[in-house]
């Protein structure tokens, strides 16, 4: 990759970071995860209680590049046609017309996705995977820059439909968001008083994001790191060969090949964010929770013994030699 391309990527990322940091206090992990998902051309699942700037962060990224933003509030009575669109009869000309749904956007926020029915979840995840929708037999392509940011509340389970493991796997990353500190809460109030959230002038374009995605693909990853990634995924499937038997017994399902692909794509994005055109093992390690926490399924015994998926991930990485 040319030095001027790396410099341009760094410039775009810095502009996005500055734009984000002015309007969002803290939550840098959220920004980095959103940026990686965007650069790797994937979707992200965010888990947190309400009110921690998930919608605001998605809107800010959209405003920064003058993109199109859609917010879909998921409820049990939400139908697939409410998301992808449907055919509507026009009495004026006695014919059916296609009305496209809110899924046709650059940034789509699916708020509390686990509140929608399984049928609606499936329709949404199909659009995410195929990057197209079908209405009355006609195919409509989704925008080239298309990222779904789905959220779920880990506290409330009443009236929810848990995402199946196969559906969770379609998300490139899963990020958990924590509460801000007291100092950050005070800073939020100060910025709100100064109306710093009102400025919505775009600083970049959709083409800048396309450039980032293209250059992310060009980042070099050595065969030794590819082998390291493959071993990590293998360790989630046959954990007894890599970690303590007691910890291994908590795992009921390991990662699919999508986890392997996600590690490579996201490691390339993280390398470029850090100003490099090559991947190092630390890029893979830094992404371990976000990529694997929704791809490893634990049994009931793990919950009883207070063993988290992060504990399992740490054990896997600790048991593998680093290239």
pLDDT tens digits for range 210-231: 999 999 999 999 999 999 999 9
**In the block, residue with structure tokens 């559906």:** 167
Radius of gyration (Cα) for the chain, nearest Å?
Answer: 21
Residues 276-317 pLDDT 10s: 999 999 999 999 999 999 999 999 998 899 999 999 999 999
Instruction: Provide the 3-class DSSP secondary structure of residue 81.
Output: helix
> What is the pLDDT, as a whole number, of residue 133?
84
- Domain layout of the chain by residue ranges: 3-212, 219-318
pTM: 0.88
Q: What is the pLDDT of residues 178-192, one digit of tens each?
A: 888 888 888 888 887
Q: At what angle do helices 3-23 and 28-39 cross, to 10 degrees?
A: 140
Residue 315 to residue 308: CA distance in whole angstroms: 11
With bands split at pLDDT 50, 70 and 90, how would you rate the model's confidence at 204?
confident
Q: What is the pLDDT of residue 27?
A: 79
The fold of the 3-212 domain, in CATH, is Rossmann fold (3.40.50)
- What average pLDDT does range 111-136 have in this prediction? 81
Query: From the CB of residue 112, how many other CB atoms can be counted at a distance below 10 Å?
Result: 18
Tell me the backbone φ, ψ of residue 133, rounded to 5 degrees. -130, 155
Q: How far apart are CA 265 and CA 263, in angstroms?
A: 6
Bridge partner list, 110 = 72, 150
pLDDT value of residue 115: 81
The fold of the 219-318 domain, in CATH, is Helicase, Ruva Protein; domain 3 (1.10.8)
Q: Distance of alpha carbon 59 from its chain centroid, rounded?
A: 15
Give yes or no for residue 157 having a pLDDT over 70: no
In the predicted model, is pLDDT for residue 199 greater than 80? Answer: no
């Amino acid at each position: 990759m040319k030095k001027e391309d790396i410099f341009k990527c760094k410039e775009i990322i810095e502009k996005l970071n500055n734009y984000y940091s002015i309007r969002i206090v803290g939550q840098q992990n959220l920004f980095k995860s959103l940026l990686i998902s965007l650069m790797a051309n994937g979707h992200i699942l965010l888990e947190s209680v309400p009110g921690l700037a998930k919608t605001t962060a998605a809107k800010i990224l959209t405003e920064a590049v003058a993109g199109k933003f859609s917010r879909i509030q998921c409820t049990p009575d939400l139908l697939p046609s409410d998301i992808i669109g449907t055919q509507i009869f026009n009495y004026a000309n006695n014919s059916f017309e296609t009305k496209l749904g809110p899924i046709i956007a650059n940034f789509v926020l699916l708020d509390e996705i686990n509140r929608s029915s399984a049928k609606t979840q499936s329709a949404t995840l199909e659009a995410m995977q195929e990057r197209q929708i079908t209405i009355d037999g006609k195919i409509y392509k989704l925008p080239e820059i298309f990222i779904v940011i789905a959220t779920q509340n880990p506290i409330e389970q009443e009236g929810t439909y848990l995402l199946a493991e196969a559906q969770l796997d379609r998300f490139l990353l899963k990020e958990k968001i924590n509460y801000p500190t007291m100092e950050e809460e005070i800073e939020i109030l100060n910025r709100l008083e100064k109306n710093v959230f009102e400025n919505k002038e775009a600083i970049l374009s959709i083409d800048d994001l396309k450039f980032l995605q293209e250059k992310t693909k060009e980042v070099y990853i050595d065969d030794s790191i590819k082998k390291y990634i493959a071993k990590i995924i293998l360790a989630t499937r046959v954990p007894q060969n890599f970690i303590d038997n007691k910890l291994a017994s908590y795992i009921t399902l390991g990662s699919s090949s999508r986890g392997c692909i996600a590690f490579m794509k996201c490691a390339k994005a993280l390398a470029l964010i850090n100003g490099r055109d090559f991947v190092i093992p630390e890029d893979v390690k830094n992404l371990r929770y976000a990529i694997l926490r929704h791809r490893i399924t634990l049994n009931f015994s793990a919950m009883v013994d207070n063993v988290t998926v992060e504990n399992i991930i740490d054990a896997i990485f600790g048991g593998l030699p680093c290239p």
